[in-house]
Structure 1
């Protein structure tokens, strides 16, 4: 989707206003957009992609194109700080008063109990990064040690793994890689990479490139893939352990690269040699021949970019999965292959002036990085500059996987619910007004044809979805992209909004469906993607 005008229709007799370049702040991509304001100077009359933006080049997703619902909604956006009164109601106050009172109270807590008694939540997880920048200064002034944000319940396991292996987070280059490997990720819908749909189309159309997808559903991305490893829900760890073991079993490990760039190789190889590949493929529900073929394609590639997302990060063995998927690419030497360099602005005092001038001259943005390929190894921040493969605690969990019980075969809970699937018009809790959704405004439950037939359900039926926490009413959508035994609800629902002077709730909140004890033992991330459940037709 590129530079499409949207939001509100305009009449032909309106006086056109100027297009204002800015950027979407609803995810990390920060796509460039242009906005035309309405007569009130606030309403987003039209939104389109900014072709002059150096990264997105006119590309936008549904969220950016319907930003007016976020900016203005139905009058629910706070326009000033609110202070709670003694009776529980709120009063509007000015910013100077709010900042002063909050600072005074935080300082009093620090002085009485120490900065470690204050926990900072915020400053990350979406595209508005200013909170993170200014928040760091505030934390330092208060002596705060502990911080968290929205991605704490999503990415913590992967961040832990990357910290131990690389000393820093890393991202793949999907625009230039030979093989794109998506693990629990559907970028056609969730985006997350620059101009996602354009990039996916380019990979799919190039016979010299390949796309590998691990996902229990035939997602839009999986349908484009050269290899779709349609894993049974919650069994990704067994599948990816088998893939890593195939590298060892078939002699596909790049020993020369590992000798130069990695430590802790031998314990990892020994653990993978013991993995029962055939049995793990059977557990995962993916044919061993396909698993081996996909793994060989990764091993043969000059460059591999991997993106794991919430499909595995809010699932069973999530931290182990993060570790194993990185081993699959690292054991083949596919880290930091030589690629495209970007011109920068030099070094020294004059570089800052040149960069400042470029920013002023190009309001849509500038590219300012200037890393030579060899210099990117400096990004590895381990104490010895090597990739540390041996994470002993996770290798122990890999051993324990042999005797672990795979989810999904409990007769009392015959279904596994994915609570919080990203769909075309869902956006976590950013957009409260359901009117922004062009499709499926109420958030239907996707059910496989086999399960629907077994339960006597048809499209549009109301059913009762029961989990161990509670039961909720859902609308059924029979969907042949879903496996038998797997059902899913979208994210971003369960919010209330003002309509006709009263508050109404639309859909089901995914967080209400998962028991607090169902979480990753290392990172504490909830198992939203495999909630044991059962489904039955609602009583008349």
Structure 2
């Protein structure tokens, strides 16, 4: 084992905490938090300690694969794979148009660098349409954000007097730096308060000062009542609203009409508790708010995002320490394409097609249907609603290519599977850079050489672009020569070439990889695209970049290359928040007519969407101590909850004749599955939960195929989705639970 501790990062949630590791025989032998990381500062949760189960699992791919006519796969060499795939996509482009190629993915958690290069290949084909996991979660919030202030906000919980979590359990799901440390600090400080809106008695809710334990699916009534208390009890920050917000009067009028007592009753929260929580928000010196999947994948999700944001806007908790902030970005997570999807006419928000319409955009005879698909570092056959419909759709494609480290459920449906190097075998980075006032970026160096037979994604996409023949090597030669003469010469040559040659401008990541990449040190060619992003970041936030210690874009790029634990790339002042508002007048536009109409309709809307046949609200994808995203296929990392239990309330267990550890069948409109029961006081009557990360098959050391737990999307529906963003209602699936007389079927086959 090497005695040296090497810097890298955890890849299991958006925080991507810095870690240091010791390696032995291509294994991550020891792992601990990196104290030099600018955001996590040595913090990490238990999941990071299990990362070798990702790096060295038996499902790793080791050679390109081509599907035979009988559905089995044969190994092929890289040259054959690249030529055949490029020819296949050229056929789709030339026969139907490049816009018939659909792209899903762009990198898993902390695996974003490869996605920068796939974009060049897509542009070379003329592909337009894409989607990824964000379209299952964040597009409703993004739609609201775009209209309110044109950006994304994040709370400064470390300094907030009051922290509000809506459908969010940060003790388990993290999502902001040093989450558990910060939560403990809040809980110990009598001058600070924690407000949780969640039907589940989560770990975070147990620490809270105010737990508004809403009935499942009734968050909109609770949030409307909280905002109404702020207006009706004159708790708004009138000076802030007058100076920085448009459309206040019409929103105020709408909230004056909200019957607070009635809405408290409808959501199941004591009116006195609800009013006390609103008063705590309205009188605090600083408030930070975080919404997450608990409301973003439930009924009225887009309306809930809007109402949630009213809590901090009405009280003026913006552009101050401990408040809500817009922030810099190093690379955009969302695209700019808008409009409607070609077949169903679903809205495209932030460049992303709603995940729930993907099967409908394929399974049709419409002339504009998707005919080919690229999937990169994602597993939509498992992670999208209604897995059966997704599998049927993917099998109907004329060409499907998957780039991944493992033989996933989606890869098995592909015509070609290309094996990628793992996240620890190549330079990698995350574009989840959300913090304020100091924002950080972490380029991770490879800990190992790529597994034999695999390639890093930048090289895969570069080979495919070369095979398309869309750019002449004569165009790249002068840039290669300039790169050898130094960064200044390269910058002049690059910007001249981009201005004169539209193809160079369209394929920037590829051009950088081919010309600047070979000059970068220590196998960092894959980081070449970051040079362009560093220049853009400098142009966008010049004062904040200089304040962080970087004189120009090249200095920032060099700092990124030479900082193994990450670097602070912007340092803002609090007043910068107003300059980050996307509207030309730098004011928040509070009035969104669609949302105000929906607010008015709440009075007559049903608060219950279950039926006598399906009386239980099933929430799928719950985060637990031993669950993670699909990246962990090897189940031996789990020390508890090996079957991914179906959690039910004490009351429901008694009514249904369920016992702890027994087997039961859970049935929804989409399908049914067997699960092990866990009885817990954390669940309300009529509410049950299944965890994320289960239902993945794995071949154990004895050669047996093991499928622990339930694949959640066997039970979800593509039709059960938000009216605006199309985000799925995974947290609100009507279901029926029945005890099984026998012990059930083993997960071993």
Question: 436-445 or 262-271, which moves further after superposition?
Answer: 262-271
TM-score normalised by L of structure 1:
0.91
Question: What is the aligned partner in structure 1 of residue 16 from structure 2?
Answer: 30
Q: 2 CA distance for matches of 1:349 and 1:457?
A: 62
1:393 aligns with 2:600: no
1:445 aligns with 2:641: no
Does the CA contact (< 8 Å) of 2:187 and 2:194 recur in 1?
Answer: yes
Q: 2 CA distance for matches of 1:316 and 1:347?
A: 42
Q: 2 CA distance for matches of 1:487 and 1:145?
A: 39
Q: How far off is 1:100 after superposition? A: 4.7
Quickly say closer, same or farther: Cα 1:460–1:53, change in 2 above 3 A.
same
Q: For 1:235, which of 198, 213, 218 is the aligned residue?
A: 218
What per-residue deviation string (whole Å, max 9, x for no partner) do you get for residues 474-502 of structure 1? 21111011111111111111111112223
Q: 1 CA distance for matches of 2:223 and 2:693?
A: 29
1:528 aligns with 2:730: yes
Does the CA contact (< 8 Å) of 2:672 and 2:714 recur in 1?
Answer: no
Q: 2 CA distance for matches of 1:431 and 1:364?
A: 24
Question: What is the aligned partner in structure 1 of residue 615 from structure 2?
Answer: 414
Q: For 2:177, which of 191, 194, 200 is the aligned residue?
A: 194
What per-residue deviation string (whole Å, max 9, x for no partner) do you get for residues 453-477 of structure 1? 2222221111222222333222111
Q: How far off is 1:67 after superposition? A: 0.7
Q: 2 CA distance for matches of 1:135 and 1:383?
A: 33
Q: 2 CA distance for matches of 1:208 and 1:411?
A: 46
Q: How far off is 1:373 after superposition? A: 2.1
Q: 1 CA distance for matches of 2:257 and 2:117?
A: 49
Higher RCO structure, 1 or 2 (CA under 8 Å, sep 6+): 2
Q: How far off is 1:125 after superposition? A: 5.7
Q: 2 CA distance for matches of 1:370 and 1:95?
A: 44
What per-residue deviation string (whole Å, max 9, x for no partner) do you get for residues 288-329 of structure 1? 111111111111122221111111111111111111101111
What per-residue deviation string (whole Å, max 9, x for no partner) do you get for residues 238-286 of structure 1? 1111111111111112222112211122221121111111111001000
Does the CA contact (< 8 Å) of 2:137 and 2:297 recur in 1?
Answer: yes
Q: 1 CA distance for matches of 2:652 and 2:730?
A: 21
Question: What is the aligned partner in structure 1 of residue 706 from structure 2?
Answer: 504
What pairs up with 1:151-230 in 2 under 5 angstroms? Answer: 151-230=134-213
Q: 2 CA distance for matches of 1:379 and 1:106?
A: 40
Quickly say closer, same or farther: Cα 1:338–1:186, change in 2 above 3 A.
closer
Question: What is the aligned partner in structure 1 of residue 49 from structure 2?
Answer: 65
1:467 aligns with 2:668: yes
Q: How far off is 1:386 after superposition? A: 1.7
Over aligned residues, Cα RMSD in angstroms? 2.2
Does the CA contact (< 8 Å) of 2:545 and 2:551 recur in 1?
Answer: no
Does the CA contact (< 8 Å) of 1:345 and 1:355 recur in 2?
Answer: no
Query: SS at 1:494's partner residue?
Result: coil
Q: For 2:293, which of 289, 310, 314 is the aligned residue?
A: 310
1:479 aligns with 2:462: no
Does the CA contact (< 8 Å) of 1:408 and 1:485 recur in 2?
Answer: no
Does the CA contact (< 8 Å) of 2:547 and 2:570 recur in 1?
Answer: no
Q: How far off is 1:505 after superposition? A: 1.3
Quickly say closer, same or farther: Cα 1:488–1:173, change in 2 above 3 A.
same
Does the CA contact (< 8 Å) of 1:345 and 1:354 recur in 2?
Answer: no
What pairs up with 1:121-140 in 2 under 5 angstroms? Answer: 121-123=104-106, 126-140=109-123
Moved over 6 A (4+): none
Does the CA contact (< 8 Å) of 1:408 and 1:415 recur in 2?
Answer: no
Does the CA contact (< 8 Å) of 2:646 and 2:677 recur in 1?
Answer: yes
Quickly say closer, same or farther: Cα 1:98–1:297, change in 2 above 3 A.
farther
What pairs up with 1:227-376 in 2 under 5 angstroms? Answer: 227-338=210-321, 341-342=437-438, 345-346=546-547, 350-352=551-553, 354-356=555-557, 358-359=559-560, 361-376=562-577
Does the CA contact (< 8 Å) of 1:26 and 1:128 recur in 2?
Answer: no
Question: 430-439 or 170-179, which moves further after superposition?
Answer: 170-179
